Chains A and B, each alone.
Chain A
């Protein structure tokens, strides 16, 4: 009886199951932990592109205090950051620089488009020097509308981003 059970096929199946179990046991919680760390520690890169930066400043001020969510404003270098909040209009002069900033950031990185200008060009839909939204140059994760968005809306956008990160795949382990 026992001999019949231990065949190469069943052994294979067993090993496969074991691998699955391992993957489950290590991969999922580890991925969860990684995502947990990432979502509570979003450091936005310090790039101001237009007037929405005023409300971004207000969001990090005492009243709205995004540091409650682990978002530290006024961070020095882009090499340590993981979130680009595109704060408004991207002009044609700014666009290549924005892209460069995004490129120089380490993985993983997230993008929030803040303000009507960053989403679609907003008020400047017919201006000669403004990009119609940033989707063309950056992959946007969350759109935060408004002109400028209230800090609350920005915080809500950050919460949405956290939700999104939680659902993201942390990494293909193995």
Chain B
């Protein structure tokens, strides 16, 4: 627990934090570093640790590996639920990133931690939600709680989740025929 206390006090202005990757490894919070190392040790090249901050870890995965990584995270690291699933559109990279924020209720040590698992799906300029190449494997079998989040992600960004029981519309009106609204090329009026 002492490490956590320390890391809490390390809460530093962002100016310092931005340089964290540049600094030496020892200055990274230890506990979080260990967790990240575990993932890297298991999957090696397939994963990439984007950053390690106090209480926050971010791991980028290829879309083919995401299921195994997620399973490993659930079973061996002890993260047992997803707090949110957010899609981010990167039109320049022609990719859509889907970010899972995973947390843990069962393990008291992990209760502060949020593990961010990010993966990317190809993006098409002329999306036909569900019928184009924007596919990702669904994590619903692994984290049951992503069900509605993934549905929302599907309708807001057009990412089809393979293996999801009902990829239906959730929030938008039934007659929505436009682009998925959270894509960057869907522009709202007047802007």
- Spell out A's residues near B (CB within 8 Å): 91-93, 125-129
Q: Is the interface of A mostly helix, strand, loop or mixed?
A: loop
Report whether B188 and A127 are in contact in the complex, using a CB–CB cutoff of 8 Å.
Answer: yes
Report whether A129 and B172 are in contact in the complex, using a CB–CB cutoff of 8 Å.
Answer: yes
Q: Is the interface of B mostly helix, strand, loop or mixed?
A: loop
16 A-B contact pairs sorted by A residue (CB < 8 Å): A91-B173, A92-B173, A93-B172, A93-B173, A93-B174, A125-B190, A126-B188, A126-B189, A126-B191, A127-B188, A128-B178, A128-B181, A128-B189, A129-B172, A129-B173, A129-B181
9 smallest beta-carbon distances between A and B, as pairs: A93-B173, A92-B173, A126-B188, A126-B190, A126-B189, A128-B188, A128-B181, A126-B191, A127-B188
Number of A-B residue pairs with CB-CB distance less than 8 Å in the complex they form: 19
A145 to chain B, nearest CB (A): 22
- Chain B: residues with Cβ within 8 Å of the partner, total of 10
Which residues of B have CB within 8 Å of A93? 172-174
Question: Nearest B residue to A127 by beta-carbon distance?
Answer: B188
Question: Nearest B residue to A124 by beta-carbon distance?
Answer: B188
Which residues of A have CB within 8 Å of B174? 93
What 1/0 mask marks residues of chain B from 146 to 189 whose CB sits below 8 Å from any chain A CB?
00000000000000000000000000111000100100001011
Which residues of B have CB within 8 Å of A126? 188-191
Instruction: Give the distance in Å from the alpha carbon of A92 to the alpha carbon of B181 in the complex.
Output: 14
Which residues of B have CB within 8 Å of A129? 172-173, 181
